[in-house]
A and B are shown apart, each in its own frame.
Chain A
Amino acid sequence: MSDSPPPARRPVEDRPVRIVSARPSIGLRFKEIWESRELLSYFVITDIKIKYKASALGILWSMFAPAATLAIYWVVFGKILPNSVPNFALFLFAGLLIWNFFFGVIITSTSVVVDRAGIVKKVAFPREILALSTVGTSFVYFLIQCGVMVIFMLALWHPPAWGMLWLLPLSIFALAVFAGSLGILLSAINVYLRDTRHLIEVALQLWFFLTPIVYSFEHQISKKLHHVAVGNDHILNLTWLYFLNPVTPIVMTFQRVIYAQPTVRATSVPHVPYSVLPTWPTSTYLLLNLGVLAAGLVLFAIAITVFGRLEGNFAEEL
């Protein structure tokens, strides 16, 4: 150390310092995630490339499963169990669009750390971005499905609610934050409890039916929730409980904007108008969306903290 310094390539003195410690602060974690955004984009791009590299139809396959689901639900809930909502397929599509995104994020992020054990054990990067990359991948599929829906709407010549269109980016962003945070949390838990994935699959099935996708909130359950009888003389309004599900406001926003007609004439009894969607003002939708965003941000902070605690032992648990 006493000898003269070697020919310096560039001053190392002013290079940034990275800290590896047992308990990194939450600010540091945010910073590291932000700095890895390019790697995040690589993960998304390579994910999509790999998935469709070997198939001739390529990315079209990503539309096959959603299309099949849409067709099945349309037959079951529109034809076999008729519900008298006109253009029911479009109503379904609006909700499924959101659900497919949410489902895709949760189901893939839960196992993403375990699936990518090879790099988690050997390469250093903020591991949260593995879960976040599933948000990116699912978002790409979401955009493709949106494209299909636009074609669908043109074919039916069904205009959206133009005035509320600006709500959609906010909505999907709020859901992405919430889903990504939940994904980060689950991806870490699944390392320690490997059957988390199976539990999540079951939970998502229940979650699907707690969200107004194959039925209309306004028409079919709004009144029931207003008058839930407990015992003989207690009537409770449980609407708030239903809206604790953060996917619900997002789905309803999409239905409101895309389906666009709160009040319709039923296909079965055309002279009686009834409500498919709530006739709330735009501000109510905005508030609901901001509520989901706030919940998502809180969950994000929690997820990052918990992930940080659990992450230290990933390399040895995998």
Chain B
Amino acid sequence: MTAVVQVENISKRFRLYHERHRSVKDRIIHPGGGTYTDLQALDDVSFSIDAGQTVGILGRNGSGKSTLLKCICGVLKPNEGQILVRGTLAGLLELGAGFQPELSGRDNVYLSGSMLGFSRKDVDRLFDSIVEFSELEGFVDTQVKFYSSGMYVRLAFAVAVNVDPDVLVVDEVLAVGDERFQAKCMDRIRQFQLEGRTIMLVSHNADQVRSLCDRAIVLDHGRMIADGPSGDSVRIFREALSADSRSVDAEAPVNVSISIESVTTSTGRFAAHTNEAFGFEVALTSNESFDGFFVMELHTHDGTLVTRTDPTTAPVSLSPGHQRLAVSLPALPLLDGDYELSVGLLSGFGHSVAAWREQVATLEVSYDGRASGLVPLAPRVNLA
């Protein structure tokens, strides 16, 4: 297959000035030019994305996600390396970034379409569908400065997803508009996937990445620490996050280090029937005593989060050394299917992750009835 985005050994340094001399006058007074430290935002990152892939980029704040996207869009130039992009690329780094408040919605559609690299003819052809998608039919000739912020982002998103790009690059902008509009944006992104377009998506939201992307890249301090199927990458990302929050979070007990060694059941199998009780044991080692909370998650294979338990209902007290936690679920209200189990311990008020194991086991639920979907419901019907 053809590589659509090819990132070759790119590095990007930012120079952080402690004292900046940015005028001729200052330069004459201080010939040195100011003191600074270099920040390595991206360090020798290489990967290539094939046509039709949807790739998520995960990373904590400051891990270089946005810098990477900006380099791919061409807003920033890398210090080393190069990026090859095949075809047209629509970058949504910020919705409505190119809008001119004084101009009408119509003018702004043409202007921002042109900034995304589309000709007047292209925009002419797509204009009606853009306006229809944005639901701003009555306001296209109103100056954008009179728009509400919701209208503003709707128009911006409508332009970006309707201008027919080969590659769509999205930086955490999917949380716009009301829920219905968000769902519409998601639908459009899925339609893009079906049409075989390439999508790159930056998100903090690992669930969103798991459900939308077939591949994910994890960045940490500018280095690429994972690149693979989104399930694997999300696991690496979460585990890196928990390893990190232990050292960063002030709330977390300073020296506590907990490792979850295994998750097992008495039968050796993770299998259960719908609405039956189910239990498993978590073997772990802690170097100190620890008071915190237990939390578990179930995901379907396509990444939908089925449940994340409320940690405050499951407090845990650990003493130093090796020990086992017995976890029991009185009933498993799930229909048949395979569910990925993740477990973890949260410290403090349930804010920071002390230990996490992503997808440690696959739970097979079997069901004899005829209902389909995720959960069994038993409607009773009477004449009212």
Contacts and interface: CB of A to CB of B under 8 A. Distances in A.
B230 to A, nearest CB: 14
Contacts of B111: 42, 46
Interface stretch (B191-199, B204-212, B346-354): B191-199
Interface in B71-87: 71-87
A15 B94 contact: no
Contact of A21 (B73, B78, B107): B78
Interface string B191-230: 0011111100000000000000000000000000000000
B74 A18 contact: yes
B87 A122 contact: no
B89 A8 contact: no
B148 interface: no
A17 interface: yes
Contact of A19 (B76, B84, B107, B198): B84
Contact of A16 (B50, B52, B86, B93): B86
Contacts of B27: 193
Interface string B157-200: 00000000010000000000000000000000000011111100
Nearest to B87: A15
A39 B115 contact: yes
Interface in A1-18: 1, 5-9, 12-13, 15-18
A124 B195 contact: no
A261 interface: no
B337 interface: no
Contact of A49 (B51, B77, B103, B115): B103
Contacts of B120: 38
A316 interface: yes
Interface stretch (B17-25, B126-134, B301-309, B358-366): B17-25
Interface string A148-179: 00000000000000000000000000000000
Contacts of B88: 15
Interface stretch (A55-63, A194-202, A233-241, A285-293): A194-202
A34 interface: no
A122 B86 contact: no
Contact of B97 (A1, A18, A122, A194): A122
A94 B81 CA distance: 52
A80 interface: no
Chain B contact-residue range equals 35 or more
Contacts of B2: 12-13
Given A122-B94, A122-B97, A20 B83 contact: yes
A117 to B, nearest CB: 11
A19 B83 contact: yes
Interface in B1-23: 1-2, 4, 14-15, 22-23
B93 A20 contact: no
B77 A20 contact: yes
Given A6-B196, A192-B22, A50 B102 contact: yes
A36 to B, nearest CB: 8
Contacts of B264: none
A1 B50 CA distance: 8
Contacts of B198: 12
Given A118-B97, A125-B115, A193 B103 contact: no
Contacts of B93: 122-123
Contacts of B52: 5-6, 8
B91 to A, nearest CB: 6
Contact of A124 (B50, B74, B82, B86): B74
Nearest to B4: A12
Contacts of A50: 100, 102-103
Given A6-B194, A9-B196, A123-B115, A193 B22 contact: yes
A122 B73 CA distance: 9
Given A20-B83, A22-B80, A8 B115 contact: no
B23 A195 contact: yes
Given A20-B74, A21-B82, A46 B103 contact: yes
Contacts of B51: 5-6, 8, 12
B70 interface: yes
Contacts of A196: 24
A311 interface: yes
A54 B143 CA distance: 11
A124 B91 contact: yes
Contacts of A54: 102
A17 B97 contact: no
Contacts of B89: 18
B254 to A, nearest CB: 35
Given A9-B197, A196-B24, A39 B114 contact: yes
Contact of B25 (A7, A195, A311): A195
Contacts of B24: 193, 195-196, 199
Nearest to B143: A53
19 contacts: A17-B85, A19-B82, A19-B85, A21-B82, A22-B80, A39-B115, A42-B110, A49-B107, A50-B103, A118-B97, A119-B98, A124-B75, A124-B91, A125-B115, A193-B24, A311-B77, A313-B15, A315-B70, A316-B76
Interface of B: 1-2, 4, 14-15, 22-25, 27, 50-52, 70-89, 91, 93-94, 97-98, 100, 102-103, 107, 110-111, 114-115, 117, 119-120, 166, 193-198
> Ordered nearest first, which 7 A-B pairs have the shortest CB separation?
A122-B97, A15-B87, A124-B74, A21-B82, A312-B77, A6-B196, A195-B23
Given A9-B197, A19-B82, A22-B79, 4 more contacts: A6-B194, A8-B52, A12-B51, A42-B114
